């Protein structure tokens, strides 16, 4: 690990807006904030929105600036990137955003039932080889519903046509209430909320420069009912995205 990363990890251990519960710590200590995140981390009783796979934390931070009536938590296991958003939030006095270093697979051990009422998935890796690893798979949806009330909202913003199409099939197959959908959020008449287009992450800006359209889908997640994976083949993304393995060797979705 380079000195820069070590310095960032050292900083975050002193940051009041950063919480760290990687698997080894969660397994031995548990998370004492379960059921009391708003009270203990923010000192209020406002509703909570998570950004899962938050990277540098730009989206969670900007949402927090726009919505002081809500609390935002950016979740990622890669703490060195998270440092950027956490540092900016402290510098600018944005008190309704925090950052959680943890594995997303453990999300239902970090929050209590009904504690989170909205989740943003911003530019998640499409994980074209393994459906279970996709952030909108039934594997993850079953975990999200354990911490959300009936009808909690999932919002997906992605460069990946594969992930967008897969998510749409999941929504259709499981009859989940569709709230909004766009294959190109910047196209005239796309009709998406301003915060979907006005907030751009570092990587989104680069994808736009490459001429890749940005997709968006939002849906509600009922508390009850079986969740079933769609049995379909989906065309793979033809380009190589940042920090993802080359995809030309793949032929079908699994």
Active site residues: 125
State how far Cα 138 lies from the chain centre: 15
Give residue 226's region: left, alpha or beta (phi > 0; psi -120 to 50). beta
CA–CA dist 108, 145 (Å, integer): 9
CA–CA dist 89, 112 (Å, integer): 25
DSSP string, 132-170: GGSTTSHHHHHHHHHHS-TTEEEEEEES-HHHHHHHHHH
CA–CA dist 129, 43 (Å, integer): 42
Question: Phi first, then psi: what are they for 63, rounded to 5°?
Answer: -60, -40
Q: What are the helix (H) ranges across the chain?
A: 3-14, 23-29, 37, 58-66, 79-92, 138-147, 161-173, 194-198, 202-209
Contact 82/20 with Cβ under 8 angstroms? no
CA–CA dist 228, 78 (Å, integer): 30
Query: For residue 64, which of 84, 81, 47 has the smallest C-alpha distance?
Result: 47
Between the alpha carbon of residue 240 and those of residues 130, 156, 199, 202, 252, the distances in Å are 17, 20, 24, 17, 16
């Amino acid at each position: 690990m380079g000195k820069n990363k070590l310095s960032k990890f050292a900083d975050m251990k002193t940051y009041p807006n950063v919480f760290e519960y990687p698997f080894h710590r969660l397994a031995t200590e548990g998370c004492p904030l379960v059921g009391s995140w708003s009270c203990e981390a923010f000192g209020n009783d406002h509703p909570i929105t998570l950004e899962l796979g938050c990277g540098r934390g730009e989206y969670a931070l900007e949402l927090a600036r726009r919505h002081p009536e809500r609390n935002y938590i950016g979740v990622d296991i890669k703490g060195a990137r998270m440092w950027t958003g956490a540092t900016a939030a402290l510098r600018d006095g944005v008190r309704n955003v925090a950052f959680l270093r943890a594995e997303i697979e453990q999300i239902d051990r970090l929050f209590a039932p009904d504690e989170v009422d909205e989740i943003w998935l911003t530019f998640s890796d499409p994980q074209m080889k393994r459906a279970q690893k996709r952030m909108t798979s039934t594997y993850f949806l079953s975990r999200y519903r354990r911490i959300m009330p009936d009808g909690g909202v999932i919002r997906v913003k992605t460069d990946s046509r594969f992930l967008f199409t897969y998510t749409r099939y999941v929504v259709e197959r499981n009859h989940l209430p569709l709230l909004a959908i766009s294959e190109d959020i910047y196209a005239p008449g796309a009709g998406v909320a301003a915060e979907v287009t006005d907030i751009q992450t570092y990587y989104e800006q680069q994808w736009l420069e490459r001429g890749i359209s940005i997709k968006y889908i939002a849906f509600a997640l009922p508390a009850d009912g079986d969740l079933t994976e769609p049995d379909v083949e989906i065309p793979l993304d033809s380009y190589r995205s940042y920090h993802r393995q080359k995809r030309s060797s793949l032929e079908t979705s699994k």
